[in-house]
Amino acid sequence: MAEVLLEVNHLRTEFKKRKGKVTAIDDVSFHIDKGEIVGLVGESGCGKSVTSLSIMRLLRDTPGEITNGTVLLGGKNLLELSDKEMHAFQGKQMAMIFQEPMTSLNPVMRVKEQIVEAIRLHLDMDQAQALKHTEKMLTQVGIPDVQQVMNSYPHQLSGGMSQRVMIAMAMSCYPELLIADEPTTALDVTIQAQILDLMRELNQKNGMSILLITHDLGVVAEMCSRVIVMYAGRIVEQADVETLFAHPRNPYTQGLLASLPRLGQHVDMLPSIPGTVPDLANMPAGCKFAPRCKYAMDICTKEEPKLVDMEKPGCKCRCWLVEQQMKEEGKA
């Protein structure tokens, strides 16, 4: 059995609004093994980014606050650490890259300054050593003219180049976990493939775990060994990638997969899930997906289902229908 690196238990993050609190994510539990790439998917606004920011404890300057749960990294609960203790983890044990590489770099600082800053915070190096290390990291992420890029300002770089710089910066202190929040969404398709290849290569070479947040199921199929599907701030299904794509259990996952275009199959219109993700301030009682679900039963609108284990180890699903089916199969 592989060693667990990150373990998230019953994480709940609430947002303070003028009219009281709204729950952005609730009962989020999952784990990531060492060296594993796990995908976190869902529509926009389903809590993927809030989950990642909560894990990194980057909710400052948002109205968000973690109100329940634990985040264990290497057995240590990050939510109990003081700010100062947490700073030693951020960037060192766990690093993060973001959706918009162009705006994620400081526009008035040279690339080298920004990477050296990260290095000198965590590694015991002087300026010259840190510069050398920066050069090495930038070479490793496949930047051709390293010297020129080091002396550039972010506005002089393309989106793909900026994301490579972000990755080099994130990798510079050899983190055990990389959280990639939609790292390729803002990039065009060929650059997307290059960045994903780079991330996989770093994963294989350094054994670094990756939590890959995306709404692109194609990316998930290509990159991840396990997938977590989120809807309206809850995990609704969790499975290894083959099982999820071959036998999705949750009606929401089934809907997501049905809406993917398939090669060689001609359709006039792709199916889509009717309706939209519910507003955080106005969550339906019971199952959050029930109003959009074609299988919705009486109980679905009254009581929220729990995330229960499926027959196959490691697979979980949050759905009354699936629970019912399992009971019937158990009886039969």
Distance CA 281, CA 299 (A): 22
Least Cβ distance, residue 96 to another protein (angstroms): 5
Assess 174 for contact with another protein (CB under 8 A): no
Assess 107 for contact with another protein (CB under 8 A): yes
Assess 124 for contact with another protein (CB under 8 A): no
Give the residue, chosen from 2, 67, 77, 88, that forms a contact with another protein under the rule CB under 8 A.
Answer: 88
Q: By CB under 8 A, which span of 84-92, 242-250, 289-297, 312-320 interacts with another protein?
A: 84-92
Counted residue by residue, the chain has a size of 332
Give the residue, chosen from 112, 122, 249, 316, that forms a contact with another protein under the rule CB under 8 A.
Answer: 122
Least Cβ distance, residue 88 to another protein (angstroms): 7
| Of residues 247, 234, 242, the one with CA closest to residue 290 | 234
Q: Which residues are registered as beta bridge partners of 38?
A: 211, 226
DSSP assignments along 262-331, one per residue: -TT---SS----SS-PPPGGGPPSS-TTGGG-TT--TGGGTSPPP-EE-SSTT-EE--HHHHHHHHHHHH
Give the residue, chosen from 18, 84, 205, 294, that forms a contact with another protein under the rule CB under 8 A.
Answer: 84
Give the residue, chosen from 46, 66, 166, 232, that forms a contact with another protein under the rule CB under 8 A.
Answer: 166
Q: Residue 29 burial (CB < 10 Å; 0-12/13-18/19+)? A: middle
- Footprint (CB under 8 A) of another protein, residues 232-271: none
Contact 36, 4 (CB under 8 A): no
Give the residue, chosen from 67, 106, 139, 259, that forms a contact with another protein under the rule CB under 8 A.
Answer: 106
Assess 165 for contact with another protein (CB under 8 A): no
Assess 103 for contact with another protein (CB under 8 A): yes
Distance CA 193, CA 45 (A): 25
| Of residues 201, 254, 193, the one with CA closest to residue 218 | 193
Least Cβ distance, residue 174 to another protein (angstroms): 14
- Site of interaction with another protein (CB under 8 A): 56, 58, 60-61, 83-84, 86-92, 95-96, 98, 100, 103-109, 117-118, 121-122, 153, 155-156, 166, 169
